[in-house]
Amino acid sequence: MVFLMYHEIESPGRPLCQGAPGYVRYVVREKDFRAQMDHLKHNGWRGVEVGEALKFDPSTAALTFDDGCATDLLVAAPILREIGFGATFYITAGFLGKPGYLTQAQLRELSSLGFQIGCHSMTHAYLSDLDEAGLRREIIDSKNQLEQLIGKPVEHFSCPGGRYNQRAIAMVRNEGYRTLATSNSRTNSADTDCFELGRVPVMRETTLRDFESYCHGRGLWRLRIRESLRHIGKRVLGNTLYDRLRARTLHG
């Protein structure tokens, strides 16, 4: 089954959290998001949070949102509630209260509406770049902070920028999380390692036809080719230089 990965949802008249092309390509328009959710509903799918997705019921699709943008509560949550879907919102703890992101009160509200809250690190640092102390801050301190805010256990983690290594996996596994979600475009089954779950990105230019294919686990090879090209770029250039070049060369 598929775990879908969303980021900010663009709502008419509302400025985005960030404007770099590499960010905007992950921002889905509200009308497209609504069409995608309607498509699921009308075709017999149920959108569920990660905790429930681990039952791997083939009629479900896990809905996940990274970063903790205010549009999680203001745009996505009302649409999801209208059709009775669950979702997991992975929050970057250190972004709470920054312009465009959820405030602490909004995070509590999102949680009290029944949506699952996961952790997406403290500062959105790339885990593969960090030493032990850095990993502890991003994986453990962030979890503790989120749990204090919502008063519930935070048991699911997603990797900033989709980047991780074996040390990061080991810490997530040993510090009370039940799953780690990557940005690797593949489906998951009962045989999948819960600490390396695949997720399929829904992007600004994803058509409803692509979306439908992804939900059936089809056409993911195209996304994987793009991913491997990015991985090669990162390995050759290093994360920081790669991001800088990409921000400069990508248009749209």
CB of 234 to Zn ion, least distance (A): 15
Least Å distance, CB 46 to Zn ion, is: 25
State the minimum distance, in angstroms, from the CB of residue 189 to Zn ion: 25
Question: What are the angstrom distances between the C-alpha of 102 and each of 158, 183, 205, 207, 244?
Answer: 17, 22, 25, 28, 27
Nearer to Zn ion, 83 or 203 (CB): 203
Interface residues with Zn ion (CB under 5 A) are: 66-67, 160
Q: In whole angstroms, give the CA distance from residue 53 to residue 155.
A: 14
Joined tokens for residue 178: 């039940």
Distance CA 28, CA 55 (A): 28
- Residue whose entry in the numeric block shows the structure tokens 């943008």: 69
Nearer of residues 60 and 64 to Zn ion, judged by Cβ: 64
DSSP string, 50-98: HHHHTT--TTEEEEEEEE-BTHIIIIIHHHHHHHT---EEEE-GGGTTS
**Residue of minimal Cβ distance to Zn ion:** 66
Q: Residue 241: how many CB atoms within 10 A of its CB?
A: 12
Q: What values do phi and psi take at 97, rounded to 5? A: 90, -10
CA distance 61 to 187: 10
Q: Of 66 and 72, which CB lies nearer to Zn ion in the complex structure? A: 66
User: Could you tell me where the beta strands, DSSP code E, fall in 7-82?
Assistant: 9-10, 28-29, 46-48, 60-67
